[in-house]
Chain A
Amino acid sequence: MTEQKLGFSPTRRRFLSGAGALTASGWIAGAAGSWTLYPGRAHAADPIKMGIVTDITGALAPSGNANWQVAQFTVEQINKDGGVLGRPIQLFLEDTASDPNIAVGNVRRMIQEHRPDVVLGGITSAMRQAIKDPIVTRGRTLYIYPQLYEGQECTKDLFCTGPTPAQQCDKLIPYLIKVLGKKRFAMPSANYVWPQVINKYARKIIEDNGGQVIFEEYYPLDQPEYSATISKIKDGEVDCVFNTVIPPGLQPFMKQLYLSGFQKNGGILTCLYFDENTLNYLPAAEMEGLYSCLDYFQAVNDPFSEKLQQEYSKRFPGTKYLFTAGTAATGMYRGIKFYEVAVKETKGDLHRDVVAAAMDHAVIENGPGGGAAMVPGHRHCKMNMYIATCQLEAGQPYYKIVNKADMLDPREC
């Protein structure tokens, strides 16, 4: 049977013949074409058209490719089980090239050319801001944004399936203060929107729980030298570093913090976006004892999550693009499943407003880390959140789940 088999054929547009593999692996930035993933022929009904717009090339290529793989994986599973009410899902990929300027044109073209019923994707907030207009306003299409982010996205017909600041902070910070007994926080941050907004939220939670923010400081994203910051951490007797510095500034910061003996002297470091991808990103010693809070870790071993991981590894053996929470991959899975549930409820009506109305209260029973439920009227979803700490076993870092919050509210919009 050809039902499980999926054809993979590039459309010709703007596509350098023979360069496809290079493009997909991130070799040729900006020259990416569009791709279409056709469902097997066994489906007689018209396919549901799903657009994936993500960063296949450029700086965010590792995350973008993970998103695309998870999208393929999820859709293949749905199609294998007979599609949505008998209709298969057909995927269209558009590369956003980690560059909002390029993305706007690409996305607009995709919408005009393929008229997708729903679009999922975008990783950075800058990207979401850039592409939501061509998708939602001009394209009049439903848009699902999968990444953990700073919140405050309350556009009609735009649904967010990644964790919000409330979901990442509401359990973690009280845990740091009440359970670990850390009270003096430092907030070293990369200077862009996510750290700025999440710090504002985190500061409130810290102060509400009796903690204190010693300093909050922003750096250029690629700052190579942090001795002034390290000295402030020492002088301020900081015992918890709430880090939102991101690569490429991350490594020098982590190295200098570690060498200053902060962790050795009992200090706690948290990095909200750290998932399995970042485990081997930094030397194991610098990772030890680090805390993160996400909607899923591979250490979460409920039967469904475990099976999902196994099947994903079977579909993409030895892939370097992991199915993790920090790269929006789990949000992508949830987004597609939410859409499936919503279309089932509308009995196959794909009209945007009808599906949006069903999405508004959609519930998925299972997913990586557990089920999720849209909060009606808020376009964000409740989900389980896990606090994990990085530990070492024979020099190899791994996450150990230390706390779980059931169906945490996103508190957005």
Chain B
Amino acid sequence: MADTISLIFNIVSFASVMVLIVLGLGVIASMMGIFNFAHGEFVLLGAYTVYLSATAGLGLWFGIIAAPIVVGILGLIIERLIIRRFYGSLIIAMLGTYAIGLVIRETIRGLLGGHYESIPEPIGGAFSIGGINFSIWRTIIIIATILILTGSWWMLARTPIGLRIRGALENPMLARTCGISTTKLYALTFAFGSALAGLAGALIVPLYQLSADIGIRFLVQAFLSVMLGGVGTFQGPVLGAGTVGVMASGLPWLVPPVLADPLVFLIALIIVKIRPQGFIAAGRS
């Protein structure tokens, strides 16, 4: 019983990490149609912000709060300077984001001197209920994921700005005719997606180690999640991320860990083959 509970806890906490990371990617992919290859580096930047804040003596919490703001602003700048020029050709936009990611990653690798840096949890340790240990930071991540999910969903589904974003997504031409500035909305959406990535990086880095490659680790699985869940909705990528997260952390219990990673892809590809549109089909008719 105790084992089952801690198994479930670990799987849920890893699925939360995946959802956190995929959320920003999914928002940008669904709302703008762009697969942001620099997403992993936005996650890295969020983590790096926490590291900078900690080394500057401002503390971890300050870094965690600053991360989405810093990365969001950077996302806005990148969208205004580069991405907006490529909305006509999505493949070029994708390659462009890859280049941006490369620059960010290698710059931070240089700044870190190639080292791995350890960042402690703001609240470390574990608490125990009925003799079962639960990591406090993992619990916080689960709670944070739920809050961020609810908040993002509420913003997109229940606020006027969310309505405009969805409108601009479904029919940009009509939205523009109605006097909605789609360029502004796209910039905002990209900044929002980037901010989510920054926050994800800030929250997960205490579980791992800060290195230039922290984002890459999750990027491919994040793309898989978006593909699995289906592009074009808010819920799709989240569901996809949850599924990939559960598989990635659950499979090592059943098969040798080296096989778990490829198996995640295999299962996901089979699902995509059966349901090419993803879990949730795009376009609310």
A residues in contact (CB < 8 Å) with B: 22, 25-29, 57-62, 191, 217-220, 222-229, 231, 235, 247-248, 250-252, 255-256, 259-261, 280-283, 320
* Residues A229 and B213 in contact, CB atoms below 8 Å apart: no
**A231 and B11 alpha carbons, distance in the complex (Å):** 13
7 A-B pairs with least C-beta separation: A61-B114, A227-B10, A27-B110, A251-B209, A228-B252, A228-B253, A219-B257
- For residue A26, give the distance in angstroms from its CB to the closest CB of chain B: 5
Instruction: State A58–B106 Cα separation when bound (angstroms).
Output: 9
Q: In the complex, what residues of B have CB within 8 A of residue A280's CB? A: 118
Known contacts A25-B113, A219-B258, A255-B207; A224 and B118 CB within 8 A of each other = no
Partner of B113, one of A62, A217, A219, A281: A62
Q: Is the CB of B248 within 8 A of A26?
A: no
B214 interface residue, CB < 8 Å from A?
yes
Beyond A281-B118, A320-B115, 15 extra complex contacts between A and B, CB < 8 Å:
A25-B110, A26-B110, A27-B106, A59-B114, A62-B113, A217-B257, A223-B257, A228-B252, A228-B257, A231-B253, A248-B217, A251-B118, A252-B207, A256-B135, A281-B116
Q: Is A259's CB under 8 angstroms from B249's CB?
A: no
Residues on B with beta carbons closer than 8 Å to the beta carbon of A283: 118, 120, 124
Q: Does B271 contact A (CB under 8 A)?
A: no
Interface residues of B in 228-272 (CB under 8 A from A): 248-249, 252-253, 256-258, 261
Q: Which residue of A lies closest to B107 (CB)?
A: A27
Per DSSP, chain A at the interface is loop
**Cβ of A224 and Cβ of B116 under 8 Å apart?**
no
Q: Which residue of B lies closest to A29 (CB)?
A: B106
B residues adjacent to A (C-beta < 8 A): 3, 6-7, 10-11, 14, 17, 106-107, 109-110, 113-116, 118, 120, 124-126, 133, 135, 207-209, 211, 213-214, 217-218, 248-249, 252-253, 256-258, 261
Residue in B6, B113, B116, B256 whose beta carbon sits within 8 Å of that of A247 in the complex? B116
Q: How far is the CA of A62 from the CA of B110 in the complex (A)?
A: 11
Min CB distance, A11 to chain B, in Å?
A: 23
Partner of B217 from A28, A222, A235, A250 at Cβ < 8 Å: A222
- Decide: A229 near B116, CB < 8 A? Known: A219-B258, A248-B209, A248-B214: no
- Please give the distance in Å from B10's CB to the nearest CB on chain A: 4
Residue of A25, A252, A259, A282 touching B125 (CB-CB under 8 A): A259
Q: A250 CA to B210 CA in the complex, in Å?
A: 12
Please give the distance in Å from B152's CB to the nearest CB on chain A: 23
Q: For the complex, what is the distance from the CA of A26 to the CA of B14, rounded to whole Å? A: 33
Of A22, A25, A251, A281, which is within 8 A of B208 by CB? A251
Interchain CB contact under 8 A, A224 and B258? no
Among residues of B, the one whose C-beta sits closest to the C-beta of A30 is B106
Chain B residues near A59: list those with CB within 8 A. Answer: 114, 213
What is the CB-to-nearest-CB distance from B263 to chain A, in angstroms, rounded to a whole number? Answer: 12
| Chain A residues, Cβ within 8 Å of B257 | 217-220, 223, 228-229
Smallest distance from the beta carbon of B145 to chain A beta carbons, Å?
Answer: 15
Write the nearest CB–CB distance from A194 to chain B, whole angstroms. Answer: 16
Contacts of A226 in B (CB 8 A): 252
In the complex, which residues of chain B have a beta carbon less than 8 angstroms from the beta carbon of A260?
133
Q: Which of A57, A219, A251, A283 has the most CB atoms of chain B within a 10 A radius of its CB?
A: A251
B-chain residues with CB within 8 Å of residue A229 when the two chains form the complex: 252, 257
Q: In this complex, what residue of B is CB-closest to A58?
A: B114
Among A62, A248, A281, contact of B114 (Cβ-Cβ < 8 Å): A62
Output the nearest chain A residue to B217 by Cβ-Cβ distance. A222
Contact B7 A227 (CB under 8 A): yes
Chain A hits for B213, CB < 8 A: 59, 222, 248
Q: Decide: A225 near B214, CB < 8 A? Known: A26-B113, A250-B209, A283-B118.
A: no
B249 CB to closest chain A CB (Å) equals 5
Q: Quick check: A231 and B258 within 8 Å, CB to CB?
A: no
A248 touches B116 (CB 8 A): yes
Which residues of A are found within 8 Å of B126, using beta-carbon distances?
Answer: 259
Q: How far in angstroms is the closest Cβ of chain A from B103?
A: 12
Q: A227, B258: Cβ atoms under 8 Å?
A: no
A320-B113 in contact (CB<8A): yes
Which residues of chain A are near B113, meaning CB under 8 Å? 25-26, 61-62, 320
Q: Are B211 and A220 in contact (CB under 8 A)?
A: no
Q: Which residues of A contact B258 (CB under 8 A)?
A: 191, 218-220
Return the chain A residue nearest B257 by Cβ: A219
For B114, the closest partner residue in chain A by CB is A61
In the complex, what residues of A have CB within 8 A of residue B107's CB? Answer: 27
* Pair B211/A248 contact, Cβ less than 8 Å: yes
In the complex formed, the residue of A with least CB distance to B207 is A252
B106: A residues at CB distance < 8 A: 27-29
A-B contact pairs, 25 of them (CB 8 A): A26-B114, A27-B106, A28-B110, A58-B114, A61-B114, A62-B115, A219-B258, A222-B217, A223-B261, A225-B249, A227-B10, A228-B252, A229-B257, A231-B6, A247-B116, A247-B211, A248-B116, A248-B213, A248-B214, A251-B208, A251-B209, A252-B209, A259-B133, A261-B133, A283-B124
Q: Are B10 and A225 in contact (CB under 8 A)?
A: yes
Please name the residue on chain B nearest to A61 by beta carbon: B114
Separation of A25 and B115 alpha carbons in the complex (Å) = 11
Residues of B within 8 Å of A255, CB to CB, are 207
The answer for the CA separation of A256 and B13 in the assembled complex, in Å, is: 12
A219 to chain B: which residues have CB within 8 Å?
Answer: 257-258
Contacts of B110 in A (CB 8 A): 22, 25-28
* Identity of the chain B residue whose Cβ is nearest the Cβ of A217 in the assembled complex: B257
Residues of chain A contacted by B109 (CB below 8 angstroms): 26, 29
Q: In the complex, A225→B217 CA distance in Å?
A: 12
A60 touches B256 (CB 8 A): no
Q: How far is the CB of A279 from chain B (nearest CB, A)?
A: 11
Q: Is the CB of A231 within 8 A of B116?
A: no
Closest chain B CB from A137 CB (angstroms): 31
